[in-house]
Amino acid sequence: MSMVEKKISMYEKMLQLKEKINGEEAQKFKEFYNGKFFSGDITITEKMETVTLTFHHGKCIDVVEGIPNSGLDIGVSGSKEDWDKFVTHKSLSVATNKGNSNNLTTHGGAIRFRQNFNVVAQLIRVYASIR
């Protein structure tokens, strides 16, 4: 057995995230964080890798590399250091607070993003747990 650890791509991690957000995390995601009202795309970028998850009423129905042909809906991006920092607190509010360093960058229309802030916040919190 090889002792070399296989590097998992961002896309593969997002497939794991899809399983988790549709499985053990589904109830909390849909009900407490209002995921059941969200239909659309959430694009996540870490370093130079971008993956988009498509949701229908809070269920993740597709994962694609990059930004869909229809364009970016909402999302967050950051460098490896930014995501490393995020993992320590797991809060999008903290990661977008002006007073803090190594913040994440939000993408998409400001209104749409605020309407679905909890959905994105919880999705990337779960992502942080498997990253």
Partner 1 sequence: MGINGFYITVSGIKIYCETNNGPENGDTIICLHTAGRENRQYHDMMEILKDKYQMISFDMPAHGKSWPLAGNKVINNYVDYGKFVWAVIEELGVKDPIVIGCSMGGNIVYHLAQEYPVKAICSMQGSDYTPTIDEKILELLNHPYVNPQHSHLEFSECLIGSATTQERRDFILWGVMQEIGITKQGDLTQYNGFDVREKMDQVTCPVLVVHGLDDKIATGEMAEATMSRLTNCKTIVYRPIEDYGHFILVENPELVSVYLDEFIQMIDKQGKVEVLN
Whole-angstrom CA distances from 70 to 53, 54, 61, 87 are 13, 12, 16, 30
Q: Which of 47, 56, 57, 89 binds partner 1 (CB under 8 A)?
A: 89
Other Cβ atoms closer than 10 A to 80: 10
What's the rounded Cα separation, in Å, for the pair 20 and 126? 8
String marking each residue 23-42 x if it binds partner 1 according to CB under 8 A: ----------xx--------
Cβ proximity to partner 1, 56 vs 89, nearer residue: 89
Find the part of the chain contacting partner 1 (CB under 8 A) among 3-11, 53-61, 70-78, 110-118: 110-118
Closest CA to 34 of 127, 120, 128, 125: 120
Which position has the token pair 């779960």? 126
Rule CB under 8 A: choose which of 22, 63, 117, 131 binds partner 1. Answer: 117
Residues lying near partner 1 in the complex (CB under 8 A):
33-34, 89, 91-94, 96-100, 110-111, 114-115, 117-118, 121-122
